[in-house]
Amino acid sequence: MSASTSSKDDGSLLVSNMHKIGLSTDASSRLKLLLASQSPRRREILDMMGLSGRYTAEPSPLNEEELQIELSKKDISPHDYARTLAERKAHAKIPSVTKSNGEVTLIIGSDTIVDLDGVIMEKPKDEADACEMIQRLSGNWHQVHTGVAVYAVGVGGLDEEKLMFSFTDTASVKFASLTDEDIKSYVSSQEPMDKAGSYGIQGIGGQLVERMEGDFFTVMGLPMHRFSRELSSAIRLLDI
C-alpha cells in the first residue's frame, strides 16, 4: 500500500499516537505511561517499540503467590488466568499513582505463563524444578499465554480509574527432543530461574525451540503488535 492510500486502519498502531505520550521526565505531560513490572524483557520490548524515555517501570505490590493460590482453587483456564494476573498487577499499582488535574496515567500490567496440556507452569522454585519442567516440555508442543491489562487513572477526574482493555495473546511452541546434558547445561546457566516454564526464548533458551506459531514477543513477555493496537485505541478514546 502506498503512503497516499488511506484505509480505515490508518493510525491504528501506537507508532501513529506515540507523540501523545509525554517524556517520563516532563512534569507537564498530560499522558503518562507506567509499567507495573521490573521485567527486563518487557522493558526491552517497550524500548524496541520506541517508548524509551516515555514510561517509568515500578514493580506491582501485588502478592502474586496469594493470588496464584486463590486462582488455583477456581475453575479457571490458563488463558483467563494470565489475563486475571495482568489485571490485578495493574490495579494494585493504582493507589501509588500521583494524581494531578488534567493528567492521565496509563498503568500496564502483564503476566506470562506456560501451559502444557492445561497445566500451568510458573517460574521454577529451584534448579531441580527447572530441570523437571524442561524435561516435560522436551519434544512436545506447549502454549505460552501472555495477559495484558491497562488501567487509566485520572480519566474524568482525579480519583477515577477505568480498565481500558485487557486480553490474553497465545503462541504455540515446539521444543526439540533434549538430552539430559542439554537440560542440565541450560539450567546451570541460571537463565531459567526467573522465567515461566523455565526458559527464555530470547536468550540461550531459544536453542531449545524447534518451531513456533504466533507472536515471538508473546513468548518473550509482551505481544508487541496486539499491544500496539490496543494501546493506540485506548489513547484515541482518551482524546488527549
Residue pLDDT, tens place only, 84-104: 999 999 999 999 998 777 789
Residue 122 has pLDDT above 80, yes or no: yes
- Cα separation, 156 vs 127, in Å, equals 49
Active site (annotated) includes residue 111: yes
pTM (whole model) above 0.85: yes
Q: Stretch 224-234: mean pLDDT, rounded?
A: 97
Least confident of 102-106, 124-128, 168-172: 102-106
**Is residue 2 pLDDT above 50, yes or no?**
no
The answer to whether the CB of 165 falls within 8 A of the CB of 188 is no
| pLDDT (average), residues 185-211 | 97
- Spatial separation of the C-alpha atoms in residues 219 and 231, rounded to whole Å: 19
pLDDT score recorded for residue 6: 38
Residues 205, 167: Cα–Cα separation, whole Å = 26
Q: Give pLDDT, residue 203.
A: 96
Which one of 9, 111, 115, 129 is the catalytic residue?
A: 111
Do residues 163 and 202 lie in contact, with contact meaning Cβ atoms separated by under 8 Å? no
- Model pLDDT, residue 1: 40
pLDDT of residue 157: 67
Q: Of 158 and 128, which is predicted with more confidence?
A: 128
Kind of pairing between the strands at 209-213 and 161-175: antiparallel
**How many other C-beta atoms can be found within 10 angstroms of the C-beta atom of residue 7?**
8
Do you know the residue count of the chain? 240
pLDDT score for 155: 78
Residue with the larger pLDDT of the pair 76 and 156: 76
CA dihedral 208, 89, 58, 173 (to 10 degrees): 10
What pLDDT, on the 0 to 100 scale, is given for residue 210?
98
Q: What is the DSSP letter of 178?
A: P
